[in-house]
Amino acid sequence: MFGRFAPTPSSEFHIGNLRTAMVAWLAARSTGRGFLVRVEDLDLPRLSDAQRITEGQLTDLARIGMTWDGPVVHQRDRQDVYEQALARLGDRVYECFCSRKDVAEATRAPHGTTPVYPGTCRGLSSAEKDRLRAVRPPCLRVDAQAAHQSVTDLLSGPHTGVVDDFVVRRADGVFAYNFAVVVDDCAQGVDQVVRGDDLLDSSPRQAWLATLLGFTPPTYLHVPLVHSPDGSRLAKRDHALSLSRLRAAGISTAQVLSHLAASLNLAEEGDQVALADLVDRFDPALLPRDPWLVDPMEWADAA
Ligand code: GLU
């Protein structure tokens, strides 16, 4: 039984990423699970940048007191695993030649309903496929036929979504996030998934695919993201709120940890805490259900 944190090395962590990582670690450790770190680096153009950013991210995790089990796994090293899982899906997978524009038009849905890819390419004949292959390379989609899948989130409760024929391998050959993440979680024995709540809507698809591959879907806990007071999401560009920038501005890692713990209702504001001390206090029921409002200017002023 494992929990995990699965960062994308596209930029340095900001405090919101660290806060989600903390919840993932505490959720795993407080339930006696192992904890894995997996780098989601399937889709990054420059390997050297990804390596440098990963190093920084791992240093940040270690700095706040996080420990993980076994070596850090990189998705880019796991092509064979994805190929094998794809083969297991057999004829549930089909080639799709739709352009982005085709898909946007086909999935245009009335306001408030989930856009569903209608399976335009599901029934193409071999002759049509041969003709289209000469026009553009296909992506691969899994035939889900608008299944409905429910998941239960430890924080927000039951969540049901329509599973459309989502992409498992893109036209450029890169395995899609929704596919790789499920294959990895299943292969690594991950039965607890904690991440930002921007991915809540992906969880019905992922739970459905796990089941199709013969696994029990994991428990989910989606952590509300950090927002600026104007309601906008704290973006990756808000580097000012990374550990290294905050340290350079005179805010220690211990102070950051203390703020993060307080924001999760696991400590009083200003309490000195160590991450390991929070394991016994951790309870998903304590976690706030709303976004954490953080004013980057206030943090700058505190320095
Ligand atoms: N790589 C994703 C992120 O950095 C998280 C994916 C997941 O946890 O399923 O937001």
Q: Are residues 121 and 97 in contact, defined by beta-carbon separation less than 8 angstroms?
A: yes
Q: How far apart are CA 122 and CA 100, in angstroms?
A: 16
> Considering only CA atoms, which of 166, 160, 157, 165 is closest in space to residue 148?
160
Contacts of 182 (CB under 8 A, 6+ apart): 206, 209, 210, 213
Length of the chain: 303
Distance between Cα 248 and ligand 1 center (Å): 28
Mean pLDDT value of segment 256-272: 95
Helices (H) and strands (E) in the chain, counts: 10, 12
Any ligand 1 atom below 6 A from CB of 189:
no
Gap from CA of 134 to ligand 1 centroid (Å): 35
Which of the two residues, 133 and 104, has the higher pLDDT score?
133
Is the confidence at residue 1, as pLDDT, over 70? yes
Helix (H, G, I), strand (E, B) or coil at 61: helix
Q: Residue 141 in contact with residue 167, Cβ under 8 Å? A: yes
Report the separation in Å between the CA atom of 152 and the middle of ligand 1, taken as the mean of its atom positions.
Answer: 18
Give the C-alpha separation, 132 to 110, whole Å.
30
What is the number of the ligand 1 atom nearest to the C-alpha of 10? 4
Mean pLDDT, rounded, for 184-198: 97
Is 40 touching ligand 1 by the criterion CB < 6 Å? Answer: yes
Q: What is the Å distance from ligand 1's center to 283 Cα?
A: 22
The secondary structure of residue 71, as a DSSP letter, is P
Query: How far from the centroid of its chain's Cα atoms is residue 123's Cα?
Result: 32
User: Is pLDDT larger for residue 213 or for residue 109?
Assistant: 213
Extract long-range pairs of 271-276: CB within 8 Å, 24+ residues apart.
Answer: 274/65, 275/22, 275/25, 275/26, 275/64, 275/65, 275/66, 276/65
What is the reported pLDDT for 216? Answer: 97
Residue 6 near ligand 1, beta carbon < 6 Å:
yes
pLDDT at 104: 77
* Statement: residue 100 has pLDDT above 90: no
pLDDT at 110: 59
**Which of helix, strand or coil describes residue 97?**
coil
Q: What is the structure's pLDDT at 105?
A: 77
Q: To test the ligand 1 pocket, which listed residue (10, 181, 182) has its Cβ within 8 A of the most ligand atoms? A: 181
Asked if 195 and 4 touch (Cβ cutoff 8 Å), the reply is no
In this structure, of 66-80, 111-125, 126-140, the range with the lowest mean pLDDT score is 111-125
Tokens 């092509």 correspond to what residue? 79
Q: What is the pLDDT of residue 207?
A: 98
- Please state, in angstroms and rounded to a whole number, the distance separating the CA atoms of residues 66 and 71: 14
Q: According to the model, what pLDDT value does residue 231 have?
A: 75
Q: What is the pLDDT of residues 154-184, one digit of tens each?
A: 999 999 999 999 999 999 999 999 999 999 9
Three-state SS for 230?
coil
Burial class (CB in 10 A: 0-12, 13-18, 19+), 170: middle
pLDDT of residue 80: 98
Q: Which of 42-46, 130-134, 294-298 has the lowest mean pLDDT?
A: 294-298
| pLDDT for position 300 | 61
CA distance 97 to 128: 10
| Gyration radius from the chain CA atoms | 21
Q: Give the distance (Å) from ligand 1 centre to CA of residue 8.
A: 6
